[in-house]
Amino acid sequence: MEIIIEPDYEKMSKTSARIIAAEIRRKHDSVLGLATGDTPIGTYKELVKVHEIEGLDFSKVRTFNLDEYVGLAPPHKNSYNYFMWDNLFNHVNVSLSSVYVPQGNTDDPEQFCHWYEEQIQKAGGIDLQVLGIGGDGHIGFNEPGSSFASRTRVKALEEQTVKDNARFFEKEEDVPRFAITMGIGTILEARKILLIANGEKKADVCAQFIEGPVTSQITASSLQLHSYVTVVLDEAAASKLKRTEYYNWVRDNKHLVEKRVGR
């Protein structure tokens, strides 16, 4: 894993947007895996700026979102579908038919999940998967104990996740208890992964998934098994890491690293 520590949220957002923009420039029909939550809002804002100012072209880009609450129709204000249109899709030239978000109000979730996996395969697989991290270490909605081989499916949400996400709803009872989420197995098949996290409340869980053991209790630790992961943190989220000096040295001397090992 490459660990990039930025001084604050704004820099974290700029750096992660730059990584996504570079991927789109490298491959104009990139397949992006996208995440929701507070964390990527700044990144999406930066991407919109790059689109407006530098003309970053989304016309051939295809996107697959990680997850969606079960029971929420796509136009629902608290749905992840709504979030994505509000924060990104409405502001760039992505085509409506190239955007996939799990359908929370599907009549047949099982069949839908199969279909979603098939669409990812048909698109040629995900080139770059963007991730945030939940307070309990989840990626997507892969709660503690999720199999590392899991595929897109319905997951029951943990108590802490329901509490964490209650801020977006009028009352805690309104937070759906189930979600459709890409599995860990689905996420690990992406060619590249970018995880972003900010704030002190993510510091413990970041130290656990980066420097702790690989365990299904912190599902983000499964990323240690992937060969191309970039983690962009602000200083607060990185504050419990032990090897900060090493990560910073690698970042500052990347030109030497690339020359020697080719990543």
Residue closer to ligand GLP by CB (options 56, 234) is 234
67 is catalytic: yes
| Closer residue to ligand GLP in complex, CB, 56/181 | 181
Catalytic pick among 136, 158, 189, 234: 136
Q: Is 158 a catalytic residue?
A: no
Least distance to ligand GLP from the beta carbon of 201, Å? 8
3-state secondary structure 92-110: CCCCHHHEECCCCCCCCHH
Beta bridge mates, 99: 63
Cα→Cα distances 4→167, 185, 236, 237, Å: 29, 25, 13, 11
Catalytic site residue from 46, 138, 164, 234: 138
Catalytic status, residue 136 = yes
Where does residue 244 fall: left (phi above 0), alpha (psi -120 to 50 degrees), or beta otherwise? Answer: alpha
Nearest distance, CB of residue 79 and ligand GLP, angstroms: 12
Q: What is the DSSP string of 61-81?
A: -EEEESEEETT--TTSTTSHH
Interface positions with ligand GLP (CB under 6 A): 35-39, 66-67, 132-134, 140-141, 161, 165
Give start and end residues of each alpha helix (H) in the chain.
Answer: 9-26, 41-54, 80-87, 109-122, 159-165, 184-188, 203-211, 244-252, 254-261
As measured in angstroms, the least distance from the Cβ of 19 to ligand GLP is: 17
- If the CB atoms of residues 5 and 196 are measured against ligand GLP, the closer one turns out to be 196
- Minimum CB separation from ligand GLP for residue 236, in Å? 13
Q: Given the complex with ligand GLP, which of 237 and 241 has the nearer CB atom?
A: 237
Catalytic residue chosen out of the listed positions 143, 158, 189, 234: 143
Catalytically active residues are: 67, 136, 138, 143
